[in-house]
């Protein structure tokens, strides 16, 4: 089966102040994402899937990254190859659910793209969506696959990856970044002025 590659790009100018209202920011810039994560007092934890077993995995596979516990689901199961985490069947949705007991995950980002059955990244229209319905859609490539969501207040509990057009490819991720608020209520929003765009496999089981 093919790995799904979702590469997202969102070009935007971001501006925050200590009086900024509650908001959810979306960016295709890793540097902007990292700056926003730091500005709301989040600790950053990176999952590269390097220790995830290669091969077929049943849907519901679970692991943890720092204080963040996560599980992945997809109809037909999952498949991992050398740090590429994907669905076992093409055209399926890949969903990650996560939590950090006693803490809040207020940012999630990563490299989301599509792959073929040899895990070769392929250009594809990729949709990355949060549990509240916020989504980002773009024609992605391996070079333009980053997308990040940062909430100034609310927790984020899941993210999903789908390919609405390329049903013969596989949604794939090779890195996820969790932004975790160190202690409940310890959110501090620092001023940010005018941040601008800083700018083989699938087997049926």
- What is the average pLDDT across 100-107? 94
pLDDT category, 15, cuts 50, 70, 90?
very low
pLDDT at 22: 65
Q: Which of 35-44, 70-79, 96-105, 179-188 has the lowest mean pLDDT?
A: 179-188
Provide the token pair at 109. 């980002």
Residue 136 in 3-state DSSP?
strand
- What is the average pLDDT across 87-111? 96
- What is the average pLDDT across 184-189? 41
Mean residue pLDDT across the chain: 83
Provide the token pair at 125. 């229209």
If one compares 142 and 96, the residue with the highest pLDDT of the two is: 96
Q: Is the pLDDT of residue 167 over 90?
A: yes
Domains in the chain, CATH or no CATH each: 23-183 (2.60.120.260)
pLDDT at 86: 98
pLDDT at 153: 86
Q: Which of 102-106, 117-121, 190-194 has the lowest mean pLDDT?
A: 190-194
Residue in the block written with tokens 């975790």: 180
Q: How far is CA 147 from CA 150, 178, 205, in A?
A: 10, 12, 31
pTM across the whole model: 0.80
Q: Which DSSP symbol is given to 4?
A: B
Contact 140, 8 (CB under 8 A): yes
Q: Is the pLDDT of residue 203 over 90?
A: no
């Amino acid at each position: 089966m093919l790995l799904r590659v979702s590469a997202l790009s969102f070009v935007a100018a971001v501006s925050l102040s200590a009086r900024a209202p509650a908001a959810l920011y979306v960016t295709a810039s890793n540097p902007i994402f990292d700056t926003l994560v730091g500005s709301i007092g989040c600790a950053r934890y990176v999952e590269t899937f390097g220790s995830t077993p290669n091969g077929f995995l049943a849907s519901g596979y679970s692991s943890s990254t720092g204080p963040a516990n996560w599980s992945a689901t997809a109809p037909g199961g999952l498949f991992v190859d050398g740090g590429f985490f994907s669905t076992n069947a093409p055209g399926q949705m890949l969903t990650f659910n996560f939590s950090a007991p006693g803490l809040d995950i207020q940012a999630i980002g990563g490299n989301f793209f599509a792959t073929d059955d040899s895990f070769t990244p392929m250009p594809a229209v990729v949709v990355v969506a949060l549990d509240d319905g916020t989504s980002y859609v773009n024609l992605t490539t391996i070079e333009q696959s980053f997308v990040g969501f940062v909430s100034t207040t609310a927790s984020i509990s899941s993210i999903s990856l789908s390919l609405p057009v390329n049903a013969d490819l596989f949604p794939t991720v090779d890195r996820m970044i969790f932004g975790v608020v160190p202690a409940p209520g310890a959110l501090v929003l620092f001023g940010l002025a005018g941040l601008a765009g800083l700018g083989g496999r699938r087997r049926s089981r």
